[in-house]
Chains A and B, each alone.
Chain A
Amino acid sequence: MAEVRFILNGAPVAVDVPPTRRLSEVLREDCGLTGTKVGCDAGDCGACTVLIDGAAHCACLAPAARIRGADVQTVEAEDPILDRLRAAFLRKGAAQCGICTPGMLMAARALLAERAAPERPEVEAALGGVLCRCTGYQKIIAAVLDAAAETVADEAPDQVRGRVGERIERLDGRPKVEGRDLFGADLWQTGGLLLKAVRSPYPHADFTFGDLMAWCAARPGVAHVFTAADIPGRNAFGVIPAFADQPALAEGVARFRGEAVALVAFEDDGTEPDLTDFPIRWTERPALADPAAAMGGALIHAARPGNLLTQGYVRRGDADAALAASVHLVEGKVETAFVEHAYIEPEAGAAWMEGEVLVIRACTQAPYMDRDDTATILGLPPERVRIIPSAVGGGFGSKLDVSLQPLVGLVALKTGRPCRMIYSRTESMASTTKRHPASIRARIGCDADGRITALDFDGIFNTGAYSSWGPTVANRVPVHATGPYRTPHVRARARAIHTHGPVSGAFRGFGVPQAAVMQETLYDRLADRAGIDRLEFRLRNALRDGDISATGQVMEGTGIHDCLTALRPHWTRALAEAGAARGNRTRRGVGLASCWYGCGNTSLPNPSTIRIGLTAEGGLVLHQGATDIGQGSNTVIAQIAAEALGLPVERFALVGPDTALSPDAGKTSASRQTYVTGRAAEAAARALRAAILRLGNWGDDAGLTLDGCTLRSASGSIDLSRLPRDAFGYVLSAQESYDPPTTPLDADGQGLPYAVYGYGAQMAELAVDMALGTVKLLKITAAHDVGRAINPTLVEGQIEGGIAQGIGMALMEDYIPGRTENLHDYLIPTTGDVPPIESLIIEVPHPEGPFGAKGLGEHVLIPTAPAILNAIRHATGAIVTRLPVLPHRLLAAMKGNGT
């Protein structure tokens, strides 16, 4: 141990720590400042950026002894320049989930110390060492430029009304920019246990344990070892109960690399967890790596012949006949990779007992589903499990499934002691879900006028070792395979096939982004065959109100035509510019793609419930159960409630999605929160308003004010302190639920899978280096129909962030088990990889949506990759059939070698 004295945020501190302890650990564990985040422990993500003697450093790479006498500044520092940056981040919407925000702020702080008025390229370079997975960087860069410009921000308005449509700052933003937001790894109880999982190094292996008791006894600091034999309930979880098949700890056989097989509880007293020599014997078995092999291979799950998890199917009309009769016909194939969510917060959480109740606090997108899955595994009734979601450092679908929840729960339950678990980056990447790799073939035809006649689509999706959201992907893809276009004859099939790959689950779009790559690239080729401009071709076929979808649904509130129309002037400009700029070494291209996406579960109930209450003291409480993983539901749902109730948003106190405190607002997934929970919030707020008006005997248009414990309108007042309390402790409250009206799909996929769809279209402009096969994105213009933009800043944030992920999927992201399990081999876009983005917000209201609003979160990713592929083909003529389009693949495609 070494005594280390240094200056921390202006004050002297002394710690007694191992000399090579990472500074990030010293700050978080020894100094209690958890604002410095750990995303990778390898210098790859920059989340832990701090200033050491004024220079930006990754705290995870700095030994404690080295900072003796140094001046260390963290995100918690009081500093006027940091304050300017913080205010600008809030104003511009630069923090979404907030996990990269401390690193971004500190990197920007270092820049502003060197360059008081930096140019945009300097900002990009200075922030190039910090990864963000939510924002697409545009608002972060804008915030830094804004803070540097020293423009005095307008005085905060006296009152933040937060009407629907207002660009208010996110309500949960302040703690994010001050390093006070508490993520999964940021809150734990001392004197407990620290857990580490033993994981399979093989994609498929049998295993047996040696003498666990002896191993445990021989190692001071090891308190317990747990295996599947210790699990008291049903050792099979899964987000869709009928398919639940994944053990919390594997039983004798591991089916993918990274699967947990045992759990070691170390004393959380500074003991360095060490799993060396853990007594386990592995017998590697042949692994089925891809679906083609798996369909004819040994069964991974005995009850699933052909390793088929499930398939989705939509049939309408006679696709074969219509294709045969088509004037123009194109066909193609495409293959996509495993894509990792790569949120900057690896899974983390803690558990403890409160009497008979097991409390689990962890990052999640789905607290009630976590509760039910964990209770099943642990053999507890659901009411004995309480899930408290922490702040969530990005999710994008992967934090819908339980990860460490049953593990920390098991240990707290078995030992009665508090415990915590923090996944390493590699562990997070190896063990959690991925986007399904898809292998798709399709044919599309049109008539002489360019009107689509038919689509034949067949997709095979590598669903990995366990079910997770495989059934959802299989069902969603055929429904969406046509894209937002009139297609009279359709046959679309998607099969989810098990392999010994990582578990494929939910990832922004549930398979639809992969399907859109196929359909939208074929559309470009078909438009060329028909001799029609690619935008006009899409406009000609775009769904309109009253058209019938492939599932037989009569469309309403259909915004795709408006989105494409909004792009038209940009399209004309971009084509002219690209034509004028055609050179030899680089060639310019412009591409376009559309999306549609059904909001909420596919033909399955997914209700949300919202409660709003007034206390006798005049507190206005919104039980906001829609987990905010950065997308903004804390703000959007509150704005909807404020508008419907008629009181300013700033009066609301939010109670989050704690299963003990707030009713179930469902999972943050399927682009459902603004629409479904928003409708519930609107209904609850209207019901509360009605109760108030009834009590005051006030008219429908009464303007309300809340002044202490007095509610006033022009016609009188209500003294809340004199009213009786209800069962929830409120003097006035309302609770309402909303479930989208859908119907089941029949054997041909006919029915009403979604009540509401959202729409979008994006245009990519780029330059291809003809000798190197590299792609330089120049601009993306994105038109998205959101029905009603509840908060336009948050809408833009979703668009920009989704595009960044689409760029990654198109150009660089390729998860290979055992090979790209870190953030330097697995590449996600940096500040320098996302071009300027222009958002065009389109509002075609849908009667089901709150104030007409539709979902957006997943739509935004869908058009990006096909728009880029179409622009590449426009620039070079090359058809790339495998994602990501790495330089060597593009160069090969340009030479006609395929990939």
Chain B
Amino acid sequence: MAAEAAYERPESLGGALALLARGGWSPLAGGTDLYPATNQRVLNGRILDISALEDLSGLTLDRDGLRIGAATTWAAIASATLPPALAALQDAAREVGGRQIQNAGTVGGNLCNASPAADGVPPLLVLEAEVELASASGTRRLPLADFVTGPRRTALAPGELLVAVHLPRPALMGRSRFLKLGARKYLVISIASVAARLLEREGHVALARIAVGACSPVARRLPAVEAALEGAPLAEAAGRILARDVAAALAPIDDVRATAAYRLEAATELVRRAVTELAGDGLEGGGHG
């Protein structure tokens, strides 16, 4: 039988963490994952609604970088005025479900749900995101790559709540792209998704950050590709992307959407396209905006 139902919607983080510390509470943000998981008319168990926690929503820029509250909706991210480095994140925000989902779903929920195909993860990886985890006993920060540990698995400890995503100031430099491949236009789970961020200097790639989603148990950066790109003249950058370097970081599977072999091929192609577009913009004199 289901656990006794309970619902709380605290307004202070301390209150929320105190409840979490007691155990058995499930955080509820946008509801776009919890409700689809049940056929019932209510959510079972003890539900901790974090939507009233003020510290948890909104984007704030300070000397350290950009802080995105975990309960910030995709719609808020899409409509914010942000540096060009975040274009990939904003494009991804516009492709998470339809408008209805973007108005409800949150960045923190996307990370905690830990789907291999989560569209929010590749852009945040190329932005070198860290997550801030809070519990009654304090807070800690983890690189995003260490937070999502497997399909539907995270490093969240009992009593911990994901409260914010931090993008360090250096990662806000450059320009970025997000490309998503699916079998239909809207409302589609990615076959592969790619985020790329390039920082160019004097016609060369000064820094490259590339990540691929839906092609491994968790979205992955592509270190070999990044290394091959860095230092390359912009005009030659895409040509340095080798299929084997893409494949080295990934472990795709066959599923109903695509074969593993196709995913690797598509990922390579999408990485090339994203880099080609970014490099082309750079050659045309696009600055840091």
Interface of B is mostly: loop
Query: B32 on the interface (CB 8 Å rule)?
Result: yes
Q: Which residues of A contact B183 (CB under 8 A)?
A: 811-812, 827, 884, 886-887
User: Which of chain B's residues have a CB closer than 8 A to the CB of A772?
Assistant: 181, 266, 269-270
Bound: A892/B47 CA distance, A:
47
Decide: A22 and B42 in contact? CB cutoff 8 A. yes
Indicate if the CB atoms of B9 and A43 lie closer than 8 Å. no
- Asked whether, in the complex, the Cβ of A65 is within 8 Å of the Cβ of B7, the reply is yes
Q: Provided the pairs A46-B100, A49-B100, A58-B104 are in contact, do residues A831 and B186 lie with their beta carbons within 8 angstroms?
A: yes
Total residue contacts A-B, CB cutoff 8 A: 159
Main secondary structure of the interface of A (DSSP, over half): loop
Q: Are B35 and A830 in contact (CB under 8 A)?
A: no
B281 lies within 8 A of chain A by Cβ: no
Give CA–CA (A675, B259) in the complex, Å.
46
Determine the chain B residues whose CB is within 8 A of the CB of A2 once the complex forms. Answer: 7
In contact, A833 and B262 (Cβ under 8 angstroms): no
B17-38 vs A: 1/0 string, CB under 8 Å?
0000000000010111001100
A829 within 8 A of partner (CB): yes
Kindly identify, within residues 818 to 854 of chain A, every residue whose CB is under 8 Å from any CB belonging to chain B: 819-820, 822, 824-825, 827, 829-833
In the bound complex, CA of A42 to CA of B36 (Å)? 4
Instruction: Assess whether A25 is interfacial by the CB under 8 Å rule.
Output: yes
Q: Which B154-197 residues have C-beta < 8 A from chain A?
A: 181, 183-189, 191
Identify A25's interface contact among B36, B41, B185, B265, CB under 8 A: B41
Tell me, rounded to whole Å, the shortest Cβ–Cβ distance linking B151 to chain A: 15
CA distance A825 to B256 in the complex (A): 8
A888 touches B259 (CB 8 A): yes
Nearest Cβ distance between residue A56 and chain B, in whole angstroms? 5
A25 / chain B contacts, CB cutoff of 8 Å: 41
Q: How far is the CB of B172 from chain A (nearest CB, A)?
A: 27
Which residues of B lie under 8 Å from residue A819 when comparing CB positions?
A: 256
Q: How far does the Cβ of A887 sit from chain B's closest Cβ, in whole Å?
A: 7
Encoded as 1 (CB less than 8 Å from any B CB) or 0, chain A from 114 to 131 comes to 000000000001101111
B99–A107 CB distance below 8 A: yes
Q: Does A765 belong to the interface (CB within 8 Å)?
A: no
Contact A887 B36 (CB under 8 A): no
Does B59 interact with chain A (Cβ within 8 Å)? no
B272 to chain A, nearest CB (A): 9
Tell me the smallest distance from the CB of B126 to a CB of chain A, in Å. Answer: 21
**Residue A129 contacts which of B35, B97, B189, B256 (CB distance < 8 angstroms)?**
B97
Contacts of A326 in B (CB 8 A): none
Q: Which of the listed residues A63, A276, A277, A892 has the most CB atoms from chain B within 10 Å of its own CB?
A: A63
Report the minimal beta-carbon distance from B157 to chain A, rounded to whole angstroms. 25
Q: How large is the interface on A (under 10, 10 to 19, 20 to 34, 35 or more residues)?
A: 35 or more
Bound: A475/B261 CA distance, A: 41
Return the contact of A887 from the options B97, B181, B185 (Cβ within 8 A). B181
In the complex formed, the residue of A with least CB distance to B6 is: A19
Contact between chains at B49 and A830 (CB < 8 Å):
no
A61 within 8 A of B: yes
Which residue of chain B has its CB nearest to the CB of A62?
B31
Q: How far is the CA of A832 from the CA of B187 in the complex (A)?
A: 10
Q: Does B103 contact A (CB under 8 A)?
A: yes
Given contacts A41-B39, A43-B97, A60-B35, contact A832 B185 (CB under 8 A): yes
The reply to whether B181 and A128 contact each other, CB–CB distance below 8 Å, is: no
Which A residue sits closest to B37, measured CB to CB? A42
* Docked pose: A812 CA to B265 CA in angstroms: 20
Contact partners of B51 in chain A: CB under 8 A: 66
Residue of A nearest to B181 (CB): A772
Given known contacts A49-B100, A56-B100, A772-B269, is B185 in contact with A128 (CB within 8 Å)?
Answer: yes
Whether B9 contacts A65 by the Cβ 8 Å rule is yes
**Complex interface bits, A282-322 against B, C-beta within 8 A gives 1, otherwise 0:** 00000000000000000000000000000000000000000
Q: At the interface, yes or no: A18 with Cβ under 8 Å from chain B? A: yes
- Is there contact, CB below 8 Å, between B258 and A886? yes
| Residue numbers in B under 8 Å from A276 (CB-CB) | 1-2
- Contacts known (A20-B7, A830-B187); A56 close to B99, Cβ less than 8 A: yes
**B97-A272 in contact (CB<8A):** no
Contact of A128 among B5, B99, B266, B270 (CB under 8 A): B99
Contacts A25-B41, A42-B35, A887-B262; A830 near B1 (Cβ below 8 A): no
Instruction: List CB contacts (< 8 Å) of B244-279 with chain A.
Output: 256-259, 261-262, 265-266, 269-270
Which A residue sits closest to B185, measured CB to CB?
A: A832
Q: Establish whether residues A272 and B181, one from each chain, have CB atoms under 8 Å apart when the complex forms.
A: no
Residues of A within 8 A of B242 (CB): none
Check if A22 sits within 8 Å of B35, measured CB to CB.
yes
A200 to chain B, nearest CB (A): 16
Query: Roughly how many angstroms separate A130 CA and B186 CA in the complex, as a whole number?
Result: 10
Q: Which residue in A21, A129, A833 is a CB contact (below 8 Å) of B184?
A: A833
Most buried by A among B9, B42, B184, B187: B187
Docked-complex contact A21 and B41, CB < 8 angstroms: yes
Question: In the bound complex, how far is the Cα of B182 from the Cα of A812, in angstroms?
Answer: 10
**Contact A43 B1, CB 8 Å, known A19-B7, A57-B100, A891-B265:** no
Interchain nearest-CB distance for A221 vs B (Å): 13
Candidates A19, A129, A820; contact of B187 at CB < 8 Å: A129
In the complex, the chain A residue whose C-beta lies closest to that of B101 is A43
A771 at the binding interface (Cβ < 8 Å) = yes
B265 to chain A, nearest CB (A): 7
Interface-central residue, A19, A43, A65, A426, by most chain B CB under 10 Å? A43
Which of A18, A62, A816 contacts B5, CB < 8 Å? A18
List of A residues within 8 angstroms of B36 by Cβ: 41-44, 61, 822
Q: Distance (Å) between the CB of A368 and the closest chain B CB?
A: 32
Evaluate contact between B40 and A888: CB separation under 8 angstroms: no
Contacts of A21 in B (CB 8 A): 41-42
Which residues of the partner chain B approach A424 to less than 8 Å between Cβ atoms? 39
What CA separation (Å) do A334 and B91 show in the bound complex?
38
Asked whether, in the complex, the Cβ of B185 is within 8 Å of the Cβ of A888, the reply is no
Q: A25-B41, A60-B35, A831-B186 are in contact. Are A129 and B99 (CB under 8 A)?
A: yes
User: Which B residue sits closest to A45, measured CB to CB?
Assistant: B187
**A116-152, CB < 8 A from B:** 125-126, 128-131
Q: Does chain A have a CB within 8 A of B98?
A: yes
Q: Does B75 sit within 8 A of A, measured CB to CB?
A: yes
Q: Within 8 Å CB of B262, what residues of A?
A: 773, 887-888, 891-892
Question: Which residues of A lie under 8 Å from residue B101 when comparing CB positions?
Answer: 43, 58, 129
Chain A residues whose C-beta falls within 8 Å of the C-beta of B94 in the assembled complex:
125
CB distance from A103 to the nearest CB of B (A): 9
Contact with B along A250-277 (1 / 0, CB 8 A): 0000000000000000000000111011
From the candidates A19, A107, A891, name the one contacting B100 in the complex (CB within 8 A). Answer: A107
| B47 nearest CB neighbor, chain A only | A20
B43 within 8 A of A: yes
A128–B259 alpha-carbon span in the complex (Å):
27
Contact B100 A830 (CB under 8 A): no
Q: Could you say which residues of chain B place their CB within 8 Å of the CB of A62?
A: 31, 104
Residue in chain B with minimal CB distance to A828? B184
| Chain B CB within 10 A, most for which of A2, A57, A819 | A57
Are A886 and B7 in contact, CB atoms less than 8 angstroms apart? no
Contacts of B256 in A (CB 8 A): 814, 816, 819-820, 825
Interface residues of B (CB under 8 A from A): 1-2, 5, 7, 9, 28, 30-32, 35-36, 39-43, 47, 49, 51, 75, 94, 97-101, 103-104, 181, 183-189, 191, 256-259, 261-262, 265-266, 269-270
Q: Which 8 A-B residue pairings sit nearest by Cβ, starting from the closest? A: A129-B98, A832-B185, A128-B186, A888-B262, A42-B36, A19-B7, A20-B43, A830-B186
8 more contacts with CB within 8 A, not counting A424-B39, A830-B187, are A20-B5, A22-B35, A25-B41, A58-B100, A130-B98, A772-B270, A811-B183, A832-B185
* A to B CB contacts below 8 Å, 6 in the list: A20-B28, A43-B97, A60-B35, A129-B187, A426-B39, A884-B183
